[in-house]
Amino acid sequence: MEGVDHLAHERNRSQFDVNDMKIVWAGSREAFEVSDRMSRLVANDPAFRKDNRVHLTRKELFKNTLRKAAYAWKKIIELKLSEEEAGRLRFFVDEPAYTDLHWGMFVPFLKGQGTEEQLQKWLPLAYKMQIIGCYAQTELGHGSNVQWLETTATFDPKTDEFWWPGGLGKVSTHAVVFARLITNGRDYGVHGFIVQIRSLDDHSVLPGITIGDIGVKFGNGAYNTMDNGVMHFDHIRIPRNQLLMRFSQVTREGKYVQSDVPRQLVYGTMVYVRKTIVIDASNALSRAVCIATRYSAVRRQFGSQDGVETQVINYKTQQSRLFPLLASAYAFRFVGEWLQWLYTDVTQRLAANDFSTLPEAHACTAGLKSITTAATADGIEECRKLCGGHGYLCSSGLPELFAVYVPACTYEGDNVVLLLQVARFLVKTVSQLVSGKKPVGTTAYMGRLQHLMESTCKVQKAEDWLNPSIVLEAFEVRSARMSVECAKRLSQFTNQEEGFHELSPSLVEAAVAHCQLIIVAKFIEKLQGDIPGNGVKDQLQKLCSIYALFTLHKHLGDFLSTSTITPKQASLADDQLRSLYAQVRPNAVALVDAFNYTDHYLGSILGRYDGNVYPNLYDEAWKDPMNDTAVPDGYHEYIKPLLKQQLRNSRL
């Protein structure tokens, strides 16, 4: 059976060109080619083997990660890989490492916040990895509340502890450190500084600084390849020019000079990373969905006809749990693409001193980071359950994926804290309508508020739910009405902050509704463009409808309580959803093949491309060190005496 394609039948019955879909998923032919090349390079190099991770101790695991990161860097240099290729190579190595923070936060922070002079000094060192940087913002006592960080940078500093920064514990030589800048006795708020923390000669920690790893984190292996660290400063002195001074400077005399820009630009790296995290959500979710879909097509239980049991993917309950996740993976891909555009646009505007879209960029990155990571973490766990008992085995790839992924709901901003930022933005938008300010961008729909407050849903039959303008309007109406309701209730409080606090659960729900509208709108927008490929657009239209109608089904309470739709229309949406699941069914395996994941990247016996699950599960079990001997270590001390005791007792 080895090598036989157990999923060939599934692939033959698909109704679209999977190679064309691969290009759509990757974003462009060029992006596909780079990804494809890098994923194969990693998969074919035994140095990047990862199937032994679960058997390593924390120290072995960490050292193995250091080895892989060094080897990956050697390859990047030897093969003269471009920045994009190097990024994809690191991605397919698929092991959280200090390099994520160096390339993902330290370098972007330098680029965003440094003056020309500072860039010339630090960037070449960072690019050649002659220094390794991390991002030290979170303290033991403060993570979400950045404004209240306790670390100070003054001529008379006191001591403080950082907690969590990745790459800090054992590897980084430098850190971007966030501290409140105090000069001439005045507190100017949080700023970023570059601080050298380890010697470049022998890697020892510099005097006055104490650093360690914060300890084992959730899950076996998983994010434990990363050295999240604790750091304690005791009267550390750094040169004045290690304050990143692009937006504000301290002169030689200690005078604070603020450029004419919003102070929130100091948070720019977080906006950048949140945007990246949205794209990454589609990677993680698609990976889990790929495993669960292939396995659901291989697995058979009950319903024997002609002696063959039913593939579990044919159960309607399995479809109703799996296909919305498949649709969400595509939806998050496209909203991630759009967010990348938004980010590039805001960056260009900032360079031209146009700060008008900064609040929109902050709200969109914060909100979409929040809802895509939450849905992805839940989705990975659902995929594990969709794989039954085998899903609980580490060799399914799902437990480790969940453990690695779930902190995305917390890092780069706790999801609830970020949704409250979106809620503030929405309430502000609604209150500004009164003064005649025209909403733009993703809140432009609020400009048609009167219509949205009065309109009624036009759905009369199930197929009407396939009409994008009807679907879009339903999401706009629900979101607008929820925001308006919150704003109204808020206006009844004399103290706005107290009102915001009291109503925060409803405000979070309004923020979720707004972000889901953005995802639906961007999926529909994507489909209005040119999408080449035989049958590709048709499949994407089905997935778009599934994403929208499943979201409607899941949040039916919102749609009914705001009178956006009637119970009858809700039931028609369910009818349409069932029909869409049936239409997607023959294409399911091909739709996950379009992610173009190698077996190495998937790291899952259940998700193997050839579907040859059982012999490989069986073989894998025998490789476990527990099976090195038939009689386990400990038999003589603990089992034998017990058995003898029982035997004696039974003879008495």
Ligand X SMILES: CCCCCCCC/C=C\CCCCC/C=C/C(=O)SCCNC(=O)CCNC(=O)[C@H](O)C(C)(C)COP(=O)(O)OP(=O)(O)OC[C@H]1O[C@@H](n2cnc3c(N)ncnc32)[C@H](O)[C@@H]1OP(=O)(O)O
Regarding 65 and contact with ligand FAD (CB under 6 A), the answer is: no
Q: Is 108 in the site for ligand FAD (CB under 6 A)?
A: no
Q: Which stretch binds ligand X (CB under 6 A): 26-34, 96-104, 496-504, 589-597?
A: 96-104
By CB under 6 A, is residue 214 in contact with ligand FAD?
no
The count of C-alpha atoms lying within 13 angstroms of the C-alpha of 192, restricted to the half-sphere facing its C-beta, is: 33
C-alpha 568/C-alpha 583 separation (Å) is 23
> CA-CA distance, 342 to 271, in Å (whole number)?
11
Phi/psi for 417 (5° steps) reads -60, -40
Distances (CA, A) of 230 to 164, 190, 233, 485: 6, 20, 10, 44
Q: Is position 165 an interface residue for ligand FAD (rule: CB under 6 A)? A: yes
With beta carbons less than 8 A apart as the criterion, state whether 221 and 202 touch: no
| One of 87, 143, 388, 447 touching ligand FAD (CB under 6 A) | 143
> Rule CB under 6 A: which of 177-206 touch ligand FAD?
none
Q: Which of 24, 97, 270, 613 binds ligand X (CB under 6 A)?
A: 270
Residues 6+ apart with CB under 8 A from 495: none
State yes or no: residue 277 binds ligand X (CB under 6 A).
yes
Q: What is the DSSP string of 475-506?
A: HHHHHHHHHHHHHHHHHT-SSHHHHHHHTHHH
Nearer to ligand X, 99 or 587 (CB): 99
Q: From residue 171, how far is each of 19, 257, 589 by CA, in Å?
A: 41, 34, 42
Count of residues that bind ligand X according to CB under 6 A: 29
| Residue 417 binding ligand FAD, by CB under 6 A | yes
Helices (H) and strands (E) in the chain, counts: 24, 9
Q: How far out from the chain centre does Cα 459 lie?
A: 35
Three-class secondary structure of residue 177 per DSSP: strand
Is 412 in the active site? yes
Half-sphere exposure of 253 (CA within 13 A, CB side): 2
Q: Is 358 in the site for ligand X (CB under 6 A)?
A: yes
Q: Which of 7, 61, 86, 101 lies at the binding interface for ligand FAD (CB under 6 A)?
A: 101
Provide the token pair at 49: 């083997």
Choose between 138 and 539: whose C-beta lies nearer to ligand FAD.
138
Q: Is 414 in the site for ligand FAD (CB under 6 A)?
A: yes
Name the amino acid, one letter, at 567: P
Q: How far is the CB of 507 from ligand X (least distance, A)?
A: 13
Q: Per rule CB under 6 A, is residue 221 in the interface with ligand X?
A: no
> Among residues 53, 362, 478, 537, which is the contact residue for ligand X, using CB under 6 A?
362
DSSP 525: H
Residue 359 lies near ligand X (rule: CB under 6 A): yes
Out of ligand X, ligand FAD, none, what residue 212 binds, judged by CB under 5 to 8 A for its kind, is none
Catalytic residue among 95, 360, 412, 473: 412
Contact with ligand FAD (CB under 6 A) among 24, 136, 507, 544: 136
Q: Which stretch binds ligand X (CB under 6 A): 358-366, 434-442, 482-490, 632-640?
A: 358-366
Q: Cα dihedral sign for 57, 58, 59, 65?
A: positive
Burial label for 567, CB within 10 Å (0-12, 13-18, 19+), is exposed
Instruction: Check the CA dihedral 340-139-247-261 and report its sign.
Output: positive
Q: How far is the CB of 628 from ligand X (least distance, A)?
A: 35
Q: How far is the CB of 305 from ligand FAD (least distance, A)?
A: 48
Q: What is the DSSP string of 117-150?
A: HHHHHHHHHHHTTSS-EEEE--BSS-SS-GGG--
Among the listed ranges 135-143, 522-530, 629-637, 643-651, the one in contact with ligand X (CB under 6 A) is 135-143
How many CB atoms are located within 10 Å of the residue 32 CB? 17
Q: How far is the CB of 101 from ligand FAD (least distance, A)?
A: 5
Q: Is 138 in the site for ligand X (CB under 6 A)?
A: yes
Instruction: Tell which one of 166, 268, 367, 611 touches ligand FAD (CB under 6 A).
Output: 166
Q: Does residue 105 interact with ligand X by CB under 6 A?
A: yes
Give the residue, chosen from 103, 223, 332, 425, that forms a contact with ligand FAD under the rule CB under 6 A: 223
Given the rule CB under 6 A, which of 131-139, 151-159, 236-244, 388-396 is the region that contacts ligand FAD? 131-139
Q: Cα-flanking dihedrals φ and ψ of residue 631, to 5°? A: -95, 120
What whole-number distance in Å separates Cα of residue 101 and Cα of residue 131?
A: 13
State which of residues 268, 367, 379, 407 lies at the interface with ligand FAD (CB under 6 A).
407
- Show the tokens assigned to 84: 């994009």
**With respect to ligand FAD, which residue has the nearer C-beta, 223 or 550?**
223
Tell which one of 159, 264, 410, 432 touches ligand FAD (CB under 6 A).
410
160 binds, among ligand FAD, ligand X, none (CB under 5 to 8 A by kind): none
Residue 420 touches ligand FAD, criterion: CB under 6 A: yes
* Residue 221 interacts with ligand FAD (CB under 6 A): yes or no: no
Question: Please, where are the H alpha helices in 27-105?
Answer: 29-43, 58-78, 83-93, 98-101
Dihedral pair phi/psi, residue 253, rounded to 5°: -90, 0
Listed residue (534, 412, 519) closest to 471, CA to CA:
519
Q: How far is the CB of 507 from ligand FAD (least distance, A)?
A: 10
Nearer to ligand FAD by Cβ, of 269 and 545: the residue is: 269
166 annotated among ligand-binding-site residues: yes
Q: How many CA atoms lie within 13 A of 641 on its CB side?
A: 4
Nearest to 475 by CA among 524, 521, 421, 442: 521
Measured in whole angstroms, how far is the alpha carbon of residue 120 from the centre of its chain?
Answer: 32
Alpha-carbon distance of 191 to 245, in angstroms, equals 9
Query: Distance from CA of residue 279 to its chain's centroid?
Result: 7
Which of these ranges, 136-144, 285-293, 441-449, 485-493, lies near ligand X under the rule CB under 6 A? Answer: 136-144
- Contacted entry of ligand X, ligand FAD, none for residue 228, CB cut-off 5 to 8 Å set by kind: ligand FAD
Question: With respect to ligand X, which residue has the nearer C-beta, 382 or 412?
Answer: 412
Interface pick for ligand FAD out of 48, 103, 164, 247 (rule CB under 6 A): 164
Q: Is 106 in the site for ligand FAD (CB under 6 A)?
A: no
User: What is the chain's length?
Assistant: 652
**By CB under 6 A, residue 543 contacts ligand X:** no
Residue 166 near residue 226, CB atoms below 8 Å: yes
Among the listed ranges 241-249, 261-269, 297-305, 415-423, the one in contact with ligand FAD (CB under 6 A) is 415-423
Helix (H, G, I), strand (E, B) or coil at 172: coil
Active site residues: 412
Report the interface residues with ligand X, using CB under 6 A: 100-101, 104-105, 135, 137-138, 143-144, 146-147, 166, 264, 267, 270-271, 273, 276-277, 280, 358-359, 362, 411-413, 417, 421, 424
Binding residues for FAD: 138, 166
Report the interface residues with ligand FAD, using CB under 6 A: 101, 135-138, 143-144, 164-166, 223, 228, 407, 410-414, 416-417, 420
